[in-house]
Amino acid sequence: MKQFKSQFTHFILLLLSCFVLSCKKSPADKPDVIIPSIKVTNASQARSTSESVMHLQFTLDKTTTVPASVDYTLKDGTAVAVKDFVAASGTVTIPPNKTMADLTITIKGDPSNTRQPNLTFNIVLSNPKNCTIAAGTAQAVIITEDGTNLTTDSTGYRTPLSYPGYKLLWNDEFSGDQIDPNNWNFEIGNGDNGWGNHELEYYTNSPKNVFVSNGNLIIEARKESISGFNYSSARMTTQNKKAFTFGRIDIRAKLPVAKGMWPALWMLGSNISTVPWPACGEIDIMELIGTDPKTTHSTLHWGASTQSHASKGAAYTLPSGDFSQQFHVFSAVWVKDSINFLVDDQLYLTVSKTDLGTANYPFNDPQFFIFNVAVGGDWPGPPDNSTSFPQRMFVDYVRVFQ
């Protein structure tokens, strides 16, 4: 009996020992310490004429009960310290139980508000404490592509402000800092079926796409996502504001030349709202297809309906260079029953009423101006990898003499 009690007592002690051991936690049984990771997000700030601040956001992927910190340094890119931003380095600390901290960087102003490609610099992270670095570098962008000041070489052909036997009836020299709303309208969108040509751009009235600077009207085509389209540009008209019948028209312009670009300076019959195209008549003073950068086209379009549409035109090819390198003057000398087309005062096309045969001749009635830069379309085809953006058309002046 004593032996049985001794064995029973030993058994109970063994069970208690196992229970105590099972309650003890070995190092291997301890839960892992989870260390948060830190990153700084990419940031951007539009440059203004005076100093401004850019906010950099540092974030942890989870909270921690101790402060987490990381060192940062700003590194030059196309943006350069002192000139474009104030150099800075230091430490950013995120307090316990928080996941975010904000740092402000000073961006230098540009009093001239120059339009140029956006500028970039980098934020480089190092020396994390109580955290790890999720990504060692982020990019900061100073947005300068929307500046209102843009210069271009003004060399090229010019025409006079007066001609014998003519009087200057109307002109726009684009010499102010705003587009004159008494002269110009803006058409918005992509029109019907890409303005009838399967064009790829979305037209806006934004100063990103159309503005005046240093005596030039500038229409800028951009590669950007907008209202379901991949390109933006501008199309402006004088419809219901300025219309003309006969006279000499001079337009001095420098053109974009790249695959998929289609700049145009042209006119439509003022009665288009009641007499649809092509019966209203269309006068294409200048069109250029980017794959042929040294050639422009002038064309008249007419016809009782789209089914009977007819046209007559010709091409002018520069003896050297292309139409993006200098300004050229595109002219129409328009009289009753006839129109002559010229480039730099060189006559290369005449269309007269007799060329239309029995068709109605719509070109003795008023027409209004249209200036635009199309992207893509049936004639030029789409841009490709060789096409850089932005692409710009500069117009120095438009003048009408009678």
- Please give the pLDDT value at position 34: 82
Sorting pLDDT into bands at 50, 70 and 90, what band is 10?
low
* Residue 144 confidence (pLDDT) above 60: yes
Averaged over 107-121, what is the pLDDT? 97
- Confidence band (pLDDT; 50, 70, 90) for 18? very low
Average pLDDT for 202-223: 98
Euclidean distance between CA atoms 254 and 352, whole angstroms? 28
Q: Which of 145, 201, 220, 287 is catalytic?
A: 287
Q: Contact 226/370 with Cβ under 8 angstroms?
A: no
With 70 as the cut, is the pLDDT of residue 212 above it? yes
pTM of the entire structure? 0.89
* Active-site annotation holder among 145, 199, 201, 282: 282
Catalytic, 282? Answer: yes
Q: Which of 297, 303, 396 is nearest to 349 (CA)?
A: 297
> Which position has the higher pLDDT, 12 or 313?
313
Residue 351 has pLDDT above 80, yes or no: yes
Residue with tokens 């670009």: 261
pLDDT category of residue 33 using cuts at 50, 70 and 90 = low
Q: 290-347: per-residue pLDDT in tens?
A: 999 999 999 999 999 999 999 999 999 999 999 999 999 999 999 999 999 999 999 9
**Sole residue written with tokens 């002109």:** 171
Q: Is the pLDDT of residue 372 over 80?
A: yes
pLDDT mean over 257-284? 98
CB burial readout 293-323, b (16+ within 10 A) else e: bbbbbbbbbbbeeeeeeeeeeeebebeeebb
Structure tokens at 370: 């249209």
Task: Report whether 394 contacts 257 (CB < 8 A).
Answer: no
In the 8-state DSSP scheme, what is residue 4? Answer: H
Query: Is a pLDDT exceeding 50 seen at residue 104?
Result: yes
Check if 287 is active-site: yes
For the chain, give the percent of residues with pLDDT over 70: 92
Residue 19 has pLDDT above 70, yes or no: no
The pLDDT confidence band at residue 205, using thresholds 50, 70 and 90, is very high
Per the prediction, the chain carries an average pLDDT of: 93
pLDDT of 21 above 90: no
Query: What pLDDT shows up at residue 135?
Result: 92
What's the mean pLDDT in 351-372? 97
20 has a pLDDT exceeding 50: no
Q: Of 70, 61, 54, 208, give the one whose Cα is nearest residue 139.
A: 54
Residue ranges and CATH numbers for the domains of the chain are 37-143 (2.60.40.2030), 168-401 (2.60.120.200)
Distance CA 77, CA 144 (A): 14
Convert the pLDDT of each residue in 264-276 to its tens digit.
999 999 999 999 9
pLDDT at position 32 is: 55
Say which range, 8-22, 125-139, 274-288, has the weakest mean pLDDT: 8-22
